[in-house]
Amino acid sequence: MNYIVFDLEWNQPMDGKKSSERKLLFEIIEIGAVKLNEDKKIIDSFCELVCPQVYQEINWHTKKMLQLKKGELKQGKKFKTVMNRFLKWCGTEDYIFCSWGPQDLTELQRNMQYYRMEPLSNKPIPFYNVQKLFGIQIGEEGSAKNLEAAVELAGLKKDVPFHRAYGDAYYTAKLFMRMEEDLLKNHYSYDLYHIPHTKKDEVRISNEKENILITRGVAKKMDITTSRQMMAINCMKCGQKPVRAKVRWFSSNNKILYAAGYCPKHGYIKGKLKIRKSEQGEYYAEKVLTYTTEEEIQKIKEKKKLLQKTTKN
């Protein structure tokens, strides 16, 4: 399998309209990528500018970051042309996308849909979020370092400019090449521009540390919160057996719910449930169950008590 490490640069409008009023908020103006073989060796590269069709005026922030020369973007081709070239460059062999952060693959698909291109997939796409992997590797899981800070921390040589699509893809590839295989096996991310549509397509990730479920879409949010299966706290080490609840599901913002349970054999488990709305208008949930400590469970209990007290007052 090859690895396609890619980066996008995009432009956005300056007229102050809300994002909900727009069919396309971020217009891609550059695609850069590095291809690695199964041994994580660089075997090819790709870089092309895209001539903007939606937002002709370049946002000041984009202009400052990319340091574009006058008229440079006009030399680019239209998005569909560049995108087709990029997909052809990716090749027919099996490959997996890699990017710095979770947004690029979503915006790539959003731009493809805007120009009525065939989708990359009609269901979630597995990829490697190298920013997330780097945080885990250095023992700072959950941190979101910017790419240049990560390059400095890793002691990599800065031999191409940052803040352009090829340069950022190149540095992301250099960091990815240092990732251990065990780390990669257990830490796929999934782009959810297209959510699961059937039970078969639902995303299930299980390892010694956590259990993740991304559900198929439903019409009503209540269809998730009233599902016994969805709201159960399961022990992964006991074959997904439901355990006794220590803290029942509660929420402070109606989007993220928390809970906790206890397995006599394997200890405490904390639950986190995010309910989201897809691009197609359906509701879906991301449920994460993680083994934890009694101290962490106590913090969850205190959080629930504080919320109840605030609500009463």
- As a whole number of angstroms, the distance between CA 133 and CA 153 comes to 14
Q: What is the pLDDT of residue 64?
A: 75
Query: Domain 196-312 is of which CATH architecture?
Result: 2-Layer Sandwich (3.30)
Counting DSSP H helices and E strands in the chain, the numbers are 10, 14
- 239 CB contacts (<8 Å, ≥6 apart)? none
CA atoms lying within 13 Å on the CB side of residue 235: 15
Number of neighbours of residue 32 by Cβ within 10 angstroms: 23
Residue 288, φ and ψ in degrees, nearest 5: -125, 120
Residue extent(s) of CATH 3.30.530 domains in the chain: 196-312
Q: What is the pLDDT of residue 287?
A: 94
Give residue-wise pLDDT tens across range 123-169: 999 999 999 999 999 999 878 899 999 999 999 999 999 999 999 99
Residue 311 has pLDDT above 90, yes or no: no
Give residue-wise pLDDT tens across range 172-212: 999 999 999 988 987 889 999 999 999 899 999 887 778 89
Query: Domain 2-185 is of which CATH architecture?
Result: 2-Layer Sandwich (3.30)
Exposed / middle / buried, residue 296 (Cβ in 10 Å: 0-12, 13-18, 19+): middle
Average pLDDT, the chain: 91
Instruction: State how beta strands 244-251 and 203-206 pair.
Output: unpaired
Q: What is the pLDDT of residue 312?
A: 66
Residue 20 has pLDDT above 60, yes or no: no
Q: What is the pLDDT of residue 313?
A: 59
Number of neighbours of residue 17 by Cβ within 10 angstroms: 10
Instruction: State how beta strands 125-129 and 95-99 pair.
Output: parallel
DSSP designation for 98: E
Alpha helix positions (H), 5-49: none
CB 212 within 8 A of CB 192: no
How far is CA 6 from each of CA 35, 203, 308, rounded to the nearest angstrom? 8, 24, 46
Q: Which segments within the chain are labelled E, that is strand? A: 2-11, 27-36, 42-49, 95-99, 125-129, 189-191, 203-206, 210-214, 234-235, 241-242, 244-251, 256-263, 267-277, 283-292
What average pLDDT does this structure show over 43-63? 89
- As a whole number of angstroms, the distance between CA 145 and CA 228 comes to 38
What average pLDDT does this structure show over 3-8? 98
pTM comes to 0.89
What average pLDDT does this structure show over 260-278? 94
- As a whole number of angstroms, the distance between CA 114 and CA 117 comes to 8
Residue extent(s) of CATH 3.30.420.10 domains in the chain: 2-185
